[in-house]
Copies of this chain bind each other. A is one copy, B any other.
Amino acid sequence: MGIRVGVAGASGYAGGELLRLLAGHPEFDLVTATAHSQAGRPVGAVHPHLSGLDLTLTATGPDAFADADLVFLALPHGQSAALANELPETVKIVDLGADFRLHDGGAWERYYGGPHAGTWTYGLPELPGQRERIANSARVANTGCYAVTTILALAPLIAAGVADPEDVVVVASSGTSGAGKSPKPHLLASEVMGGLSTYKTGRHQHVPEIKQATGAKSLSFTPVLAPMPRGILATVTARALGDADPHDVLKRAYAADPFVHVLEEDQWPRTASVSGSNSVHLQATVDVDSGRIIAVSASDNLGKGAAGQAVQNANLMFGLPETTGLQIYGVAP
C-alpha cells in the first residue's frame, strides 16, 4: 500500500490542483479531502474538471486525518497552526499557507496581522542546501506564489555578487486563480477580461519572504492582476555589480535542477509555457540604458507557486525522486 495522503482545504484552487496531482501520483494515495462550507459534496461537484474522481469532501478537523501519513494544508492564512498542532508528530505536513514561512515574527505581524505561529523548514528545494533540509523535515512551509517566482530569479544573482541587494524593483503579474475562489466583484470575468490593474500596490505580503530568501535589503514589489486563469510573470530588476553575465549566473545555478529552465539567450519566459507544470522558466540580461539587470521569471501560480511545489517537497520528505507525479512540460498553447 502507498503513502496515505490527506488534503485540508480541498475546495479552493490550490486544493483542487493538489487533488489533480495526487490523483495521478504513483506513490501517494489520496484518502481524505476536507473542506469547510463544501463538506459533504462529491469532489466532481466542486471541481468539475475532477468529475469521475470518487471522493467526497468531509469536514476539516484532526479526525479526518487520523490515519494519514502525509497532510497538505491549503487553508486560508492564519488557520494552519490550529490544525497542525492537533496532528501527531509522525504525520508529515506541508503547509501551503503563509503561517510558518517567516523567521521574523514582527514582519509576519506587519504584513499578515495576528500572532506569529512559528517557523518551519522553508520549502524551496532549489535554494542552496535546502533540498536536504526539506528531506529531513516533518514540517515544511511551502513558498508563496509571487515569492518563489521572484526568488528563483533573484537569489542566485545576489548570492553571486552580481546584483545589488539594495533597491531591488519587482513588478509581477498574476492570473486570477491566485486571488482564490471566493466570488468578489473585482474578480468577475467581466471586470478582469480585457484589462490589467495593480493591487496591494506598495505593500504586498510576500515582500518579507522574498527578502528573507534572497538577501535583498530593499524591495519595491508591485503585483498586477492579469486576464488569464493561471501564471505569474515577474520582472525583477536590480543594479548590476560588475560585468558578469546574469544569464550565465542563472544557468550555472540551476544546471542540476529538473524544474528550473534557464532559456536560450534569444528566448524570454512566457507563462503559457509552464501552465499546468511545476517548471519555472528564467532569462536575464542587462538593460542598455540603465545598466540594471533585468531577470524575468515565469511560473504557474498553482504549480511551482502552490500545489506542484508542495508535492515536490513531499516527494523529498518521503525519499522519492523529486519529480514523481509532476509535469516538467506545460500545457501549451
Contacts and interface: CB of A to CB of B under 8 A. Distances in A.
Which range holds the interface residue count of chain A?
35 or more
A263 B197 CA distance: 13
A106 interface: no
A59 interface: no
Nearest to A328: B52
A50 to B, nearest CB: 5
B194 A52 contact: no
A269 interface: yes
A87 interface: no
A331 interface: yes
Contacts of A139: none
Nearest to A174: B196
A125 interface: no
Contacts of A179: 190
Interface string A195-223: 11111011100010001000000111110
Nearest to A210: B289
Contact of A171 (B52, B235, B273, B331): B235
A298 B37 CA distance: 28
A116 to B, nearest CB: 18
Contact of A13 (B201, B264, B277, B333): B333
A203 B288 contact: yes
Contacts of A23: 328-329
Given A184-B183, A190-B176, A229-B189, A220 B289 contact: yes
Given A198-B235, A270-B197, A290 B191 contact: no
A296 B292 CA distance: 21
Given A16-B332, A51-B261, A224-B235, A229 B193 contact: yes
Contact of A202 (B168, B276, B294): B294
A275 B187 contact: no
Contact of A196 (B183, B190, B229, B233): B233
Interface of A: 13, 16, 20, 23-24, 44-45, 47-53, 167-169, 171, 173, 175-177, 179, 181, 183-185, 187-199, 201-203, 207, 211, 218-222, 224, 226-231, 233, 235, 237, 239, 261, 263-264, 267-277, 279, 281, 283, 285-292, 294, 296, 298, 327-333
Of all A-B residue pairs in the complex, the 6 with the closest CB atoms, nearest first, are A195-B272, A189-B192, A171-B171, A183-B183, A49-B332, A49-B273
Given A13-B190, A24-B327, A201-B268, 14 more contacts: A23-B328, A23-B329, A49-B330, A51-B264, A51-B273, A169-B169, A171-B222, A189-B193, A189-B229, A191-B333, A194-B230, A196-B228, A202-B286, A222-B296
23 contacts: A44-B267, A49-B272, A52-B261, A167-B167, A169-B237, A169-B290, A181-B190, A183-B188, A188-B188, A193-B194, A193-B229, A193-B333, A194-B271, A195-B275, A197-B271, A198-B233, A198-B294, A201-B268, A218-B289, A220-B290, A222-B287, A227-B227, A229-B272
